[in-house]
Amino acid sequence: MSAFIEITNLSKSFQMGEATVHALAGVSLTIEQNAFCLIMGPSGSGKSTLLYLLGGLDRPTSGSIQINGLEMTALDENALARFRQKTMGFVFQSFNLIPSASALDNVAFPARFARMSARERKSRGLELLERVKLLDRAYHKPSELSGGQQQRVAIARALINRPTLILADEPTGNLDTASGESIMALLQELHTEGATVIIVSHDPRLTAYATQIVQILDGKITPESL
Ligand SMILES: Nc1ncnc2c1ncn2[C@@H]1O[C@H](COP(=O)(O)OP(=O)(O)O)[C@@H](O)[C@H]1O
Ligand SMILES: [Mg+2]
């Protein structure tokens, strides 16, 4: 049986005027089902780029990403969007919440594309807000919530379609210690329940939770981390 995620020789370059930035320069990595994989590295090392490619939010310049045997780079936009929606929950560093929508509407939003009825969306949204301990903030807007609360809303939103793969970009990066710890506890719980969790971070506290730690530097996985 092949691994859950198989990344082979993955590269991503950005053209910036005259200069070419090699954000990823030939990354190969295997991640097993139900791993809690922590990708660490300094700022600018290519962590977010790698996660975006894994999440199908951007396309590689070259190389391959297979998830569950499916070649992501071969999917067209529609197929990629469907796969993403069925399989993945993405937690962004900057939360990316809709400012004018309530916490509940933010959480339920991705379910609009998943043929869930309005009633079901609402009940599942409330259930997830309860899970992240924000039921009493269901009708608050993001601006009325703290950073930690906004990140918990973002995690609840990532869970609405019951993903088996959770991708999080520095989920504790913008948070105080206590909020960071509650986010980590939540991610660990999801892992225990069977999800594969991939987190990009330079927060050393997260190493305690990881089943796999990968170091990335200048767009390459450092050999000693494999
Ligand atoms: N959209 C983009 N356009 C141009 N350069 C980019 C873009 N995204 C990332 N980069 C560059 O690629 C490198 C890796 O960036 P990134 O993946 O965001 O690193 P990290 O998340 O580890 O801080 C950096 O040099 C960054 O400036
Ligand atoms: Mg980043």
Provide the domain count of the chain: 1
Residue 163 domain-assigned (yes or no):
yes
Q: Is the dihedral of CA 187, 173, 215, 206 positive or negative?
A: negative
pLDDT surpasses 90 at 204? no
pLDDT surpasses 60 at 21? yes
Ligand 1 atom closest to the Cα of residue 219 is 14
Residue 3 domain-assigned (yes or no):
no
Residue 14 domain-assigned (yes or no):
no
pLDDT surpasses 80 at 32? yes
Q: Which tokens in the block code for residue 61?
A: 């310049």
110: helix, coil or strand?
A: helix
Decide: 47 in ligand 1 pocket, CB within 6 A: yes
Contact indicator for 90, 57 with CB cutoff of 8 Å:
yes
pLDDT surpasses 90 at 14? yes
Decide: 16 in ligand 1 pocket, CB within 6 A: yes
CATH of the domain at 123: 3.40.50.300
Closest C-alpha residue for ligand 1 atom 17? 46
Q: Which tokens in the block code for residue 217?
A: 């530097």
pLDDT surpasses 90 at 203? no
Ligand 1 atom closest to the Cα of residue 216 is 22
- What percent of the chain is modeled with pLDDT above 90? 73
Residue 19 domain-assigned (yes or no):
no
- What percent of the chain is modeled with pLDDT above 70? 99
- Per the confidence metrics, is the pTM higher than 0.95? no
Residue 112 domain-assigned (yes or no):
yes
Residue 127 domain-assigned (yes or no):
yes
- Domain, as residue range, for 130: 34-52+84-225
Contact indicator for 55, 88 with CB cutoff of 8 Å:
yes
Residue 108 domain-assigned (yes or no):
yes
From the CA of 44, how far away is ligand 2's center (Å)? 7
Residue 63 domain-assigned (yes or no):
no
Decide: 12 in ligand 1 pocket, CB within 6 A: no
